[in-house]
Amino acid sequence: EEDLLIQSEKLSVVGQLAAGVAHEIRNPLTSLKGFTQLLKSKLRDRESNFIDIMQEELDRINLIVNEFMTLAKPHLIQYSDKNVKEILRSVISVLETQAILANVNLVKDYDENLPIIYCDENQLKQVLLNVIKNAIEAMPQGGDIRITVKKKGTEALSIQVQDHGPGIPADMMERIGEPFFTTKADGTGLGLMISRRIIDAHQGTFRIWSEPDRGTTVEIELPASGRSRQLQKY
Ligand code: ADP
Ligand code: MG
C-alpha cells in the first residue's frame, strides 16, 4: 500500500515537470525540423545523409516529448461510456502492420456481453497500444499474442495481453514502470509508467506477471460504468 502511494507521488512530480518542459521543447523543435528540411534541399547526396540522421534524432526527441505531454494534460481528459471491443478494434488496426512484419498473430478471445466502461477513450487506447506493442516487440521471432477480455463478476472487466517472449527477469521486474527504464535500443521507457498512471486514474488495476523464457502477461482490470461513475465524483 505504502509503495503504491509513494509511486503516485513520484508520478505527479514527473507530471508537473513534464507540463513545463515538454511545452518549451516543442516549439524550437518544430523550427529545427523545418530548417533541416530546407538545408537538405541545398546539399549534395553525401551531406544530406547527415540531415537524415539529424531528422531521425529530432523525431526521437519529439516522440519522448509527446509521451511526456500525455502526463501533462489532465484537463483534456474526457470520460464517457465506451465499449472496450471497439477500442481494441481501433488499437489493433493501428498495430496490424507491425504485427504482420514481426510474424505475430493477435488472437482475440472476448466474452460476449461485456460491461460498458466509463473511460477516456484516447487514454485507454494509448494504454492498450503500449501494452500490445510491448508484447509484439517481445516476440521478434513471431508467434501468438492472446488478447483476452472477460467479465469479472458483475462490476468489472479484465483485459489480458499474453505474449511468449523472453519474459522479465526478477531483478528487472521492480524497475519496470520507472521513468526512462528501458532495455530497448530505441525505447523511451515511458510506456508502462504512463499506462499505470492512466489505469490508476480510471480506478482500475494494472498487473504484470512474467516468467523468464515463458512470457509475460499484463492484466488490466477496469470497473464497469455504473460503479466508476460514482467513484469519479470523489
Ligand atoms: P519501452 O517499451 O519504450 O522500453 P515501456 O515502459 O513500455 O518502455 O517498457 C519498459 C521495459 O519493460 C521494456 O524496455 C522491457 O524491458 C520491459 N517490458 C515491457 N513489456 C514487456 C514484455 N511484454 N516482455 C518483456 N519485457 C517487457
Ligand atoms: Mg513500450
Q: Which atom of ligand 1 is nearest the CA belonging to 181?
A: 10
Residue 73 pLDDT? 58
ipTM value:
0.99
CA count, 13 A, side-chain hemisphere, 213: 0
pLDDT along the chain (234 residues), means of 10: 47 63 85 92 87 90 76 67 94 90 96 93 91 96 97 93 96 88 88 91 95 96 81 52
Cα 192 to ligand 2 centre (Å): 6
Compute the distance between CA of residue 48 and CA of residue 37 in angstroms, rounded to an integer. 10
183 touches ligand 1 (CB under 6 Å):
yes
List beta partners, residue 211: 215
- Which residue's CA lies nearest to atom 8 of ligand 1? 189
Q: Are 88 and 147 in contact (CB under 8 A)?
A: yes
- Which residue's CA lies nearest to atom 16 of ligand 1? 183
Residue 232 pLDDT? 56
165 touches ligand 1 (CB under 6 Å):
yes
Residue 16 pLDDT? 64
Compute the distance between CA of residue 95 and CA of residue 85 in angstroms, rounded to an integer. 15
Residue 19 pLDDT? 66
- Which residue's CA lies nearest to atom 18 of ligand 1? 134
184 touches ligand 1 (CB under 6 Å):
yes
Q: Which three cell numbers stand for residue 85?
A: 471491443
